[in-house]
Structure 1
C-alpha cells in the first residue's frame, strides 16, 4: 500500500473553428479556450485574449510602455493586473459560448472564414 493518490485528468484546452480539420488555414481561423485555474478559462486568438467587452487584447499595458513597474508602483500594477485578468477570464460555459460566437467572424489580413471555405469548395 502506498500514499500516492490516483492521478487526475483535467481537460485544459478546446479548439473552436469553423474550418474543417486538415484545412490549410484552420489555425489562422481557430480560437483556443484554455484553462487558467480556479475554474476560469481564457479565450485566445493567436497571441490575443478576448475581454468581457468583446475586444481582443495583447495583454495588460502598463503606463503606455512595456517596462516592468518599479518597486513604488508594484501595488498599482498588481491591482491593474488583477482587473485585467478579471475582464479576460470566464467560466467554462461562457468561454465556449464566446469562442463559438466569435469563430465565424474571424479575419486574417482581410481574409475571412467565408473566404477560406469558399476557396476550399472551388478546389
Structure 2
C-alpha cells in the first residue's frame, strides 16, 4: 500500500504506509510534508516504525526538529503505533508525548481508530 490521502472524520489525512521510506533526516520529513501539503492533507498519520530510532531519543533533537517543521508548515503530525518501549526508557519522552497530546499540532496515538476519535472530538 502506498501513502493514501483519506478523509477521516471530515479531515483530509495522509495515511502513510508502514512499509514506506523511513524518516531519518529533516530533509526526509520535509519531503513528506511537501507531498502531504501538495495533496491537500491537513494531517499526516505516520507509523511510528517509519521514524528513525533517533526520533525517540530526545537528546538527538531530531524529534524537535521534525515536529517544528510540521508546525511551521501548519500540518498536524500524528505518530501512530506502539511506542511503549520508547516511553518506558525515557521520562522526558513520556512528558513530551503527554504534553503534545494536550494540544492540536502533534499527537501520539496507538492506532488509526484512536486518531479518528481525536479528530471527531
Structures share fold, TM-score greater than 0.5: no
Give the alignment's TM-score, normalised by structure 1.
0.25
Structure showing greater Rg? 1
Give the alignment's TM-score, normalised by structure 2.
0.25
